[in-house]
Structure 1
C-alpha cells in the first residue's frame, strides 16, 4: 500500500492505516459490516468516514464524498465492482428504496468493498484533512500558524493521526458557523486552538483541550446535553492507549 506523508513527512503505512481504521470502525459502527452502509435523510452514508453519496436529482447540501473516494481507490489500483466503475450517483433514491435492497448483490459488493478498503479510507480522510487545514487556519485568523503547529505536534505522536481523524468524524472540523452555541464551537479547530502547546505530551494536551471544548458546548447548549459527556469522555480516552 502506498504511504502517506503529513506536512512533516510522517509516514502512514499499511499497518498503521489498518489499525487506525479499525479503531474508527469500532467507534462509529461497533466493528460490524452492516454499519458500513446506512441511509441518512436524503443520501447514503458509507464507510468509516460516513462518506456521502447522493442520488441523482437531489440538491447537494453537503460535499458528495463517495464518488471522490471511488476515484481515489482507482488511483490506488483498487479494482472496483463493475457496477461502481461508472456510477456517479447513488442508485437508491430513498430510505425505503435503500433498505429494500439492503441484501441485493450491489449492496453486498458495496459492503465488501468498504470492509476491504478501510486502510485506503484512512488515507483518503488524511488527504482531505490536509486539504482542509488552510480553511481551518483562515477561520481562526490570528491563531492560524499556532493551529497548524498543534496539528503537526499531535500528528507526530503514535496515536495522533487516529485522534485527529476520529475527532473530526465525531465532532467535525469546527469551521462551520452552524456548529456553534453562543458563538463558540467544539470541532477540531477549537481543540487545537485550546491546546497550551507547552508540554512534551501533545496527545494529552489534545485530549484535555477536547474535554474542555465539549464541556463548554454543554454549558452553552440551549438544551441539556450533559448526559452525553460520559460517552464523549470514553471516546477521548481511546486516544491515549
Structure 2
C-alpha cells in the first residue's frame, strides 16, 4: 500500500484537531517551520498543507500576523450558505421573527445525524418585511448539550454552533424543489397558489461528519435563488 503523502497527513491531523476542539476558532497556529518540524517535514510541505486548509475555509491567513483557525461570522455564514436574492440581484437578509426548540427522538429520515435524540429548531423569518421563510433545523442532541436552554442568535446559527460548541460547519449539499402554497402555508404571509421553494440541506463539519439537517420553505414572490459556479 502506498504511504500517505506527508502533506496529507499534516492536513488530516490538523483537521482532526480542529474538529475535536484542540485548536479553537481564532487560535493562531505555529509557523510553517514549526509545524514542519513537528511532523518531520519541510517548510514547503507544511505550507502546502496549510494552503489547502485555507482553500477549504478551515484556516485563514492574516497578512503580517500569521495563520489562524477560521472563525464563522454572521456575515460569512450568510454569504456562503444563503442564496436568495431580490429583484435587483442583491442578497436578502432574513430576520428572525420567532423560534421554538424541542428535544425529541430522531426519525429514520434523520439517521445521518447518528443520534437517538435530536434538537429540532423551528424558525419563522421575515424577508423584506413579511413572513417569507420557515426553517426546520435538526441537530444531534448529544453533540449540542443544553441547546434548548441556550439563547440562540437572531439570524445565523452556524456562528453560534462554533462559538458555543466549537462545531464549525464547512460544507453543505442542498436539493431544491418548487411547490405551491396552500392557505396559511407554514405560517407564512402567502396567498394560496403562491410559488414556494423547498430546500433540503445536509451540512457537515470540518471532519466531514453530518452535523445538521435543514428543511426550508421560502415564499418566492420577488425572489430568486442564485448560485455561483466555478
TM-score scaled to structure 1, two decimals? Answer: 0.24
- TM-score normalised by L of structure 2: 0.25
Select the structure of larger CA radius of gyration.
2
Please state which structure has a larger fraction of its residues in strand.
Answer: 2
The structure richer in helix per residue is: 1
